[in-house]
């Protein structure tokens, strides 16, 4: 008989375990058994909750996106001006849990998987659109629409690029330096159009 109330806890444990296993392997070539072992549950229980590895991986992407969305909403509530909103979006992109090695490894594995999986690709397109929209909405309050679009694309590219550089570990860039580089880019671009 399953314990009442355990399903949400076990589902979260499996998603967290999937992130750790993906990070360790550096790819999505993991099995349900690998993930279940990391979560401390049986493979049968993992299949019971998710049906398949693909569904567990999709839920892992959803979980990352939900966390990013929730953190962004919280950060935006604290900001008072469009420029503070931009800084909040940038800071959330690099906060400790988003910039953790296992999270970065998972994002990169999902980007690689998006070349084969339409569903994974769809989630990553959602991420890119949200990031651009959050940047663009505030930039449009600070500069003309064409400049806002260009600056938003550049800032989003910097954020994604700094993730890639961090994953290479050849020249790790810490959180504050990543925020600083992106903030400097936005500030210089805004100054250039004043």
Report d(CA 136, CA 123) in Å as an integer: 20
Domain limits, the chain: 53-192
pLDDT confidence of residue 82: 95
| pLDDT beyond 90 at 108 | no
DSSP 98: T
Give 166-182 pLDDT, tens digit per residue: 877 766 688 899 999 99
- Tell me phi and psi for residue 189, to 5 degrees: -65, -40
Architecture in CATH of 53-192:
Orthogonal Bundle (1.10)
Backbone φ, ψ for residue 142 (5° rounding)? -115, -15
pLDDT at position 5 is: 72
Average pLDDT over residues 175-190: 95
pLDDT at 81 over 60: yes
Q: Model pTM? A: 0.85
Give the angle subtended at the CA of 49 by the CAs of 47 and 55, to the nearest 5°: 70
Please give the average per-residue pLDDT across 62-73, as a whole number: 92
């Amino acid at each position: 008989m399953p314990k009442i109330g355990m399903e949400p806890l076990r589902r979260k444990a499996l998603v967290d375990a999937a992130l750790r296993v993906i990070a360790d392997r550096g790819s999505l070539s993991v099995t349900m058994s690998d993930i279940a072992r990391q979560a401390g549950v049986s493979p049968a229980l993992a299949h019971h909750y998710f049906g398949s590895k693909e569904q567990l991986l999709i839920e892992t992407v959803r979980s990352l996106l939900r966390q990013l969305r929730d953190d962004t909403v919280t950060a935006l509530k604290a900001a008072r001006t469009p420029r503070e909103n931009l800084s909040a979006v940038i800071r959330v992109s690099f906060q400790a849990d988003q910039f953790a090695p296992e999270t970065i490894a998972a994002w990169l594995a999902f980007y690689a998987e998006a070349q084969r999986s339409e569903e994974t690709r769809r989630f990553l397109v959602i991420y890119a659109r949200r990031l651009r929209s959050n940047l663009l909405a505030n930039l449009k309050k600070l500069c003309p629409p064409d400049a806002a679009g260009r600056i938003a694309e550049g800032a989003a590219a910097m954020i994604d690029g700094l993730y890639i550089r961090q994953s290479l570990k050849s020249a790790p860039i810490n959180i504050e330096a990543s925020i600083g580089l992106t903030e400097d880019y936005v500030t210089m671009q805004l100054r250039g159009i004043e």
